Amino acid sequence: MKKILKGLGIALGVLVGLVVIAAMAVYVLTENNLYRKYPVKEMSIAVPTDAATLARGEHLVRYVSVCVDCHGEDLGGGLVVDDPAIGRVYAPNITAGVGGLDSQLTDADIARLLQYAVRTDGRSLWVMPAEDYQYLSATDLAAIIAYVRSVPPVDNEPPAITLGPLGRVLYLTGQLPINTADRIDQAAPKPALPVPPEGITREYGNYLGNIAGCTGCHGPGLSGGPILGAPPDWPPAANITTAGAINGWSEADFISAIRTGVDKTGHQINDVMPWQRYANMSDDELKAIWLFISTAPPKEYGNR
């Protein structure tokens, strides 16, 4: 009996040792990957501060690219995800107040963050969907910078992002793609797309669909599926091609769904999709987006 117990004790000790070694290996690997360096692009951008530019910037920040969803109504930052197993994500304060980033960054620094997701020290931004913002035109990029510079300073210093044990494992297995810079072509010049004139066209709808995150959540083909890197309580994105949720919809059905949060079947749109923000887009913007999604090739669900 003593030999059996001794053998079990040794086996348990070996198992604990292996778990500790595995945990250390996961920690070291994630740290090495999370803090790796990317090329720091030299950027130059002119940022006007006239009333029209500031108004455009506010519209983009609040209702199109919805920066306020994470950074808060006052852009002072706050908690976005709180899951001890996966991690805690705090959006930074991007005002000029104490603890804010605005006063620490040049216009070129902000442009690089939004279009390449690379910080001044060469590290990647974590979590922020710059893969959507990389498509911003130079004019809209400047408008966002101008507006963020103009908001009242907020004194707040949110804690740094932390990864939990499960979050580190998911990161290493590619299921939690935190380093946004990995999802952006670092060699491509920005803006990445030629921007068509504003108007009710599919081309302008495509532009809005990119910078508003439609393609970021629903996929480049708009066919939906699980959203990589999303919090665990988020539902998968719907298939918004004509083979999916919008089959049989009209332009009026689409605009009504965005304005009210209820689709033509009476289904309440999940608040994970910031429809309350998008509801403030103009009719022309929503009509352009409708042209973009309603003419996308039909795809099976999840075939992103």
Could you tell me if residue 117 is inside a domain? yes
Together in a domain, 122 and 60: yes
Question: How far is Cα 232 from Cα 39, in angstroms, rounded to an integer?
Answer: 32
Q: Which of 183, 213, 246 is the last residue of a domain?
A: 183
Report the helix count and the strand count for the chain, using DSSP H and E. 12, 3
Could you tell me if residue 151 is inside a domain? yes
Q: Which of 183, 210, 230 is the last residue of a domain?
A: 183
Residue 274: strand, helix, or coil: coil
Together in a domain, 179 and 207: no
Could you tell me if residue 248 is inside a domain? yes
- What's the pLDDT at 18? 46
Could you tell me if residue 231 is inside a domain? yes
pTM of the predicted protein model: 0.89
DSSP symbol at 295: T
Question: How far is Cα 49 from Cα 167, in angstroms, rounded to an integer?
Answer: 41
**What are the pLDDT tens digits along the chain (304 aa)?**
566 655 555 655 555 454 455 555 555 666 767 889 999 988 999 999 999 999 999 999 999 999 999 999 999 999 988 988 989 999 999 999 999 998 899 999 999 999 999 999 999 999 899 999 999 999 999 999 999 999 999 999 999 989 899 988 888 888 888 899 999 999 998 887 778 899 999 999 999 999 999 999 999 999 999 887 777 778 999 999 999 999 999 999 999 999 999 999 999 999 999 999 999 999 999 999 999 999 999 999 986 6
Question: How far is Cα 263 from Cα 174, in angstroms, rounded to an integer?
Answer: 34
Together in a domain, 157 and 263: no
Together in a domain, 212 and 252: yes
Could you tell me if residue 36 is inside a domain? no
- Cis ω before 235 (30° cut-off from 0): no
Question: How far is Cα 245 from Cα 275, in angstroms, rounded to an integer?
Answer: 16
Could you tell me if residue 193 is inside a domain? no
Residue 289: strand, helix, or coil: helix
Together in a domain, 285 and 177: no
Together in a domain, 207 and 162: no
DSSP per-residue codes, 185-212: -TTS-SS-SPPPPSSSSHHHHHHHHHHT
Domain count, the chain: 2
Exposed, middle or buried, 94 (CB in 10 Å: 0-12/13-18/19+)?
buried
- What's the pLDDT at 23? 58
Could you tell me if residue 247 is inside a domain? yes
- What's the pLDDT at 181? 95
Q: Which of 127, 150, 183 is the last residue of a domain?
A: 183
- What's the pLDDT at 2? 61
Together in a domain, 175 and 212: no
- What's the pLDDT at 228? 76
Together in a domain, 103 and 178: yes
Could you tell me if residue 191 is inside a domain? no
Together in a domain, 251 and 283: yes
Together in a domain, 136 and 207: no
The count of other CB atoms within 10 Å of the CB of residue 174 is 8
Question: What range defines the domain where residue 224 resides?
Answer: 202-294
Q: pLDDT digits over 147-184, tens only? A: 999 999 999 999 998 989 998 888 888 888 889 999 99
Query: With b meaning 16 or more CB within 10 Å and e meaning fewer, what string describes 62-78?
Result: bbbbbbbebbbebbbbb
Cβ-contact 102, 182 below 8 angstroms? no
Together in a domain, 207 and 112: no
Together in a domain, 171 and 216: no
